[in-house]
Amino acid sequence: MRAALVDRLRANGIDDERVLASILVVPRHHFVDEALASRAYEDAALPIGHGQTISQPWIVARMIAAVRHGRELGKVLEVGTGCGYQAAVLAGVAREVYSIERVRPLHELARGRLRAMRLPHVRLVFGDGMLGLPSAAPFDAIVVAAAGLKIPDALLQQLAPGGRLVAPEGGTRQRLVMIERKGAHNWVRTELEPVRFVPLRPGVLL
């Protein structure tokens, strides 16, 4: 089923074979409730509790391929761990993955699921990802999995020169936005396709 999902992603324009290889090995059904496991290889978002969702595989692949841009990735930051699926896919294409979640029970859930997969180079952090993770910055890539009206400035500052950030932007109408940091004071913005994400919210929930 996973191979069929990868074929579908490829047919739908995902051409980064490293990303597809990572999707091929990550058991998405481990990241959703047992009752939904039979739907884990549909190319669809699914509920994970606390009003949040596991992102659609195509979106996960699209965002990671966009920030990777064919490069080997060193340090990567994900904002919005959710159930941890995208962090596990990122683990297949980056040397070090940091992922922040603001909802404590989801952070704990992701921790349990990723522990079972033994990915020592993935570090999960409980906190407000709108502030980024200054202690681990700068990042070669930043992937934001929740939509804000504007991309937080802290994240743009924590992008390494030459690095890329991808994030959904907007309220009821959202668009995926890619930002490339060309230099200390130079960020270049490209708008990608319309998307639908859960909202990016400040602060934490215990």
Shortest distance (Å) from residue 11 CB to ligand SAH: 22
| Residue placing its CB nearer to ligand SAH in the complex, 79 or 179 | 79
H or E stretch at 17: helix 17-25
| Residue placing its CB nearer to ligand SAH in the complex, 145 or 179 | 145
| Residue placing its CB nearer to ligand SAH in the complex, 156 or 186 | 156
CB atoms near residue 34 (< 10 Å): 7
Q: Which of 22, 55, 99, 135 is catalytic?
A: 55
| Residue placing its CB nearer to ligand SAH in the complex, 21 or 188 | 21
Give 87-152 as a DSSP string: HHHHHTTEEEEEEEESBHHHHHHHHHHHHHHT-TTEEEEES-GGG--TTT--EEEEEE-SBBSS--
Shortest distance (Å) from residue 95 CB to ligand SAH: 19
CB 58 within 8 A of CB 14: yes
Shortest distance (Å) from residue 184 CB to ligand SAH: 26
Shortest distance (Å) from residue 106 CB to ligand SAH: 5
What is the contact surface with ligand SAH in residues (CB under 6 A)? Answer: 52-55, 79-83, 85-86, 100-103, 106, 128-130, 145-146, 198, 200-202
- DSSP one-letter code for 51: T
d(CA 192, CA 198): 18
C-alpha angle with apex 119: 112 to 57, nearest 5 degrees? Answer: 80
CB 122 within 8 A of CB 60: no
Identify whether 22 is a catalytic site residue.
Answer: no
Residues with a catalytic annotation lie at: 55
